[in-house]
Amino acid sequence: MVSFQPLNDHVLVKMEAAEKKTNSGIIIPDTASSSREVGEVVAVAPGSAETVAVGDRVMFRKNGVIEIEEEGFTYLLVPFKDLLGKYAMVDAI
């Protein structure tokens, strides 16, 4: 459990590991990564908009985020304005 509580319209996100290789085996260098990232929300500022909740998987801009080391893990403090969307579970057709 994370003891850090974000404030002022921020969310704390745990990054998902980025794929370093394509399905065909081509290695992707760090410099080729996009400016968008995906991660899991682990904490939300109190009183913030209820558009995201702990456990949501979100896409966000990585420019302007603050990296935080907590309990041996690296988290990102992301402003709500940099959240691009969240992934929803879709029932199979």
Predicted structure pTM score: 0.74
Contact 2, 70 (CB under 8 A): yes
Count of structural domains, the chain: 1
**Does residue 33 lie within any of the structural domains?**
yes
Q: What is the pLDDT of residues 2-36, one digit of tens each?
A: 788 889 889 999 987 666 666 777 776 655 555 56
Q: Reduced to 3 states, what is the DSSP secondary structure of residue 30?
A: helix
- The domain that holds 82 is classified in CATH as 2.30.33.40
17 CB contacts (<8 Å, ≥6 apart)?
none
Q: Which residue has the tokens 């081509």?
A: 26
Q: How confident is residue 73, by pLDDT bands cut at 50, 70 and 90? A: confident
Whether 76 contacts 67, CB under 8 Å: yes
DSSP element (H, E) containing 12: strand 10-15
Alpha helices in the chain (DSSP H): none
Q: Which domain holds residue 15?
A: 10-86
Whether residue 4 is contained in a domain is answered as no
